[in-house]
Structure 1
Amino acid sequence: MSEPEASPPQRQLLLVTGLAGAGKSTTLAVLEDLGWETIDNFPVRMLKRLVTMPDEARGPLAIGFDSRTRGFVPADVIALVKDLAARPDIALTFLFLDCAGGELERRFNETRRRHPMADGRPVQEGIAAERELLEPLRRWAEVMIDTTAMTSNDLQTRIRELFDPASEEAGLTITMSSFGFARGMPPLADLVFDMRFLDNPHWVPELREQTGQDAAVGDHIERDPAFAEAFERIRGLLLMLLPRYARQGKPYVHIAFGCTGGRHRSVFTTERMAQALRTAGFSPTVRHRNLGSRAADTIERDRR
């Protein structure tokens, strides 16, 4: 008795849309670097024909489209997505890139680009018209990324976390970072720990210009009675959570430690925790966002 033929592997298909200026071009560029075949502004009505064409490679395919794309009608796009999602040979994901209107207006003014739906009107009116047009797609999308507070590098990191084809085979990738609350929250962190309860080395004159990578600063932080217990509790929590994330198939985890300026307590704790995780068998990557920032009393003014 002959065995049934194996089903062909599903082709990864990612549809990328969103508000103009929210980061579609950056997203497609990152996907291309990750090995995706990418096509921007492909006519929507021809998409079904494209994905059914013979393709020996059948690698992951990303299609970008927005209000400028020929034949763009949100209701038609949703109908097409439903049809494609039902096919057994396609694994479809729909990504929507969003951004606050004020930030989009700033980006268009900064680059001196015309908004595609402004049509001679102020840019904010074009943004509002496009947002209304795209709202059905925003509600329909499985993945939504709000790029309002993201830099280009932040968005690139997020796209790699979500859509790197190699991530499933690579296991859990851990990033550990330090930052200063006074300089803004990290937009991509999965777990954030606030270390401002520790005594602040900034207010010790001989430590002010040093950082959490210097031994004297580390000694000062470790002398705080609260440090050892807090560190061990956070360590225990991470050692419980990380294997669970891995079993759930989560490819990336970003753990961030914050203090006021991002130069002392958060840096030291990040370095120490990374060392503890390496001892436990993990391989975290360490980044210090504000390590090179200037020591400033105005930033540390709450003395925390």
Structure 2
Amino acid sequence: MANAVRDEQVDGRKPGSNLRDLVVISGLSGAGKSSAMNVFEDAGYFCVDNLPAEMIRSLAELFMHQGSRVELAAVVCDSRGGEYLAALAGVIDQLADAGVVHRVVFLTADEEALVNRYKETRRRHPLAPHGSVIDGIRAEIDLLAPVRERADLVIDTSGLSAAALRRKVADELLSPASPGRLAVTFTSFGHKHGPPRDADIAFDVRFLPNPHYESDLRPLTGFDERIVAYVARDGRLDEFYGHVVPLLEFLLPQYVAEGKAHLMVAIGCTGGRHRSVAIAEHLANVFRDREEYFVEVSHRDVDRLPMRTVR
């Protein structure tokens, strides 16, 4: 749905206006709206954070005025706007009535994820500055229900890292910066910490020798050549690469042809510190110098301390 909205809206600017896209970002406090806005800012959008709802229409009119050079804009409107937030749903309707080319993105997350994020930051919820965070979350859900109903795209950020959220926003809402160039992220993870929610392709490498059971190797990570040598000692690692690299060489161009902008390839071992890290780094190096791909590598669990093992 988002892709159809994107194509239809960006080409539907009002005659005499340079404004091609106005993105209104809203949603629950702690759901990642700032991270989402950063994606648009990096893509060249004029961005305004914490804009009162009733000022969105005025700003849109300014952008649409003849002589304005703003073609792409994104605004965040949320509970920090206080009493002005109640007007947001009506303002969105006014944008449609005025012919302003726009999209509405709504970010949400489950109650547990939001509570945990507030605990980490020790911030107070804007709708419950002197009460419990849960009360504020529930009040905000009710207040923003009309906005969510008008959203072109709803993104649930429960379990998503900031980097994964940025990739999802870019994939869903932005055209690729370089048509035909695929952004590929190789990421390592530990199965005992749960699978990554946003992986497109996942490989389980727990069949390879595990350095965790060697006391002198356990504190190291897959960045260390001693770990690589241990994992590769029986030849199965090279055999694995002999199958996986040709498979990816076949698959990646298929995703490019399908129009996909971002792809995450996840490699999982038991703890996410040894085998998966070494393999993610190797695969990233294999594809990094190829012009048709933009390659990144990340390691979700490499910094988790290893548990002592009783043998």
User: Does TM, normalized by the shorter one, top 0.5?
Assistant: yes
Which amino acid in structure 1 is aligned with residue 73 of structure 2? L
Deviation, structure 1 residue 50: 2.8
Contact 1:274–1:284, Cα closer than 8 Å, also in 2:
yes
Structure 2 counterpart of 1:288: 299
Distance 1:68 1:263 in 2: 40
- Matches of 2:135 and 2:238, distance apart in 1: 55
Q: What is the CA–CA distance in structure 1 between the aligned matches of 2:242 and 2:16, rounded to whole Å?
A: 49
Contact 1:168 1:251 survives alignment (8 Å): no
* 2:267 corresponds to which of 254, 257, 266: 257
In the TM superposition, residue 37 of structure 1 has moved relative to its aligned partner by 1.3
- Opposite residue 136 of structure 2, the aligned amino acid is G
From 52, 62, 83, the counterpart of 2:74: 62
Kindly state the Cα deviation for residue 124 of structure 1 after the two structures are TM-superposed. Answer: 1.5
2:222 is the counterpart of 1:208: no
Partner of 1:51: 60
SS in 1 for 2:70: coil
Q: How large is the RMSD of aligned CA atoms in angstroms? A: 3.6
Distance (whole Å) between structure 2 residues aligned to residue 278 and residue 263 of structure 1: 22
Partner Cα separation in structure 2 for residue 269 and residue 109 of structure 1: 34
What TM-score does the superposition give when structure 2 sets the normalisation length? 0.74
CA distance in 1 between counterparts of 2:288 and 2:164 reads 25
* Equivalent of 2:148 in 138, 155, 174: 138
Contact 2:18 2:71 in 1 (8 A): no
The answer for the alignment partner of 1:192 in structure 2 is 202
Once the two structures are superposed, the pairs formed by residues 111-122 of structure 1 within 5 Å of their partners are 111-118=121-128, 121-122=131-132
TM-score relative to the length of structure 1? 0.76
In structure 1, the residue matched to 2:308 is 297
* C-alpha spacing 1:106/1:296, structure 2 compared with 1 (3 Å): closer
Deviates more, 1:251-260 or 1:130-139: 130-139
- Is contact 2:77-2:85 (8 Å) kept? no
Partners of 1:271 and 1:10 in 2: how far apart? 42
Residues 181-204 of structure 1: per-residue CA shift (max 9 Å, x gap)? 334544543322221232312223
Which of 6, 10, 21 is equivalent to 1:12?
Answer: 21
Helix, strand or coil at the partner of 2:86: coil
Question: Which residue in 2 is equivalent to 1:3?
Answer: none
Give the total of aligned pairs.
291
**Change in CA separation of 1:39 and 1:241 when aligned onto 2, cut-off 3 Å:** same
Deviation at 1:257, TM superposition (A): 0.9
User: 1:58-90 deviations in whole A, cap 9, x for unaligned?
Assistant: 231011112454263465255346446xx4x73
User: 2 CA distance for matches of 1:59 and 1:104?
Assistant: 34
The within-5 A match list for 1:140-179 is 140-152=150-162, 154-156=164-166, 158-159=168-169, 167-168=177-178, 171-179=181-189
Please, which runs of 5 or more residues in structure 2 have no aligned partner? 1-14
CA distance in 2, matches of 1:116, 1:33: 27
Q: Is the 8 A contact 1:154 1:187 kept in 2?
A: no
The answer to whether the 8 Å contact 1:94/1:142 transfers is yes
How far is the alpha carbon of 1:15 from its aligned partner? 0.9
CA offsets 1:180-231 (integer angstroms, 9 cap, x no match):
2334544543322221232312223454344334444334433556545544
Q: Give me the whole-angstrom Cα distance separating, in 2, the residues matched to 1:272 and 1:25.
A: 33
Q: CA deviation at 1:141?
A: 2.5
Letter in 2 for 1:297: R
Pair 297,125 (structure 1): closer, same or farther in 2 beyond 3 Å = same
Corresponding residue SS for 2:245 = helix
What is the aligned-residue identity percentage?
A: 36
Once residues 149 and 258 of structure 2 are traced to their aligned partners in structure 1, the CA distance between those partners, rounded to angstroms, is 26
Give the drift of 1:138: 3.0
Q: 1:288 to 1:151 in 2, by over 3 A?
A: closer
The residue type paired with residue 307 of structure 2 is A
| Alpha carbons of structure 1 residues 118 and 212: separation in structure 2 relative to 1, 3 Å | closer
Q: Quote how far apart the aligned CAs of 1:129 are.
A: 2.1
Given candidates 47, 50, 55, the residue that maps to 1:38 is 47
Q: Does the residue aligned with 1:167 lie in a helix, a strand or coil?
A: coil
Q: Do the aligned partners of 2:171 and 2:260 also contact (CA within 8 Å) in 1?
A: no
Residue 126 of structure 1: aligned partner:
136
C-alpha separation between the residues in 2 aligned to 1:8 and 1:82? 15
Per the alignment, in what secondary structure is the counterpart of residue 57 of structure 1? coil
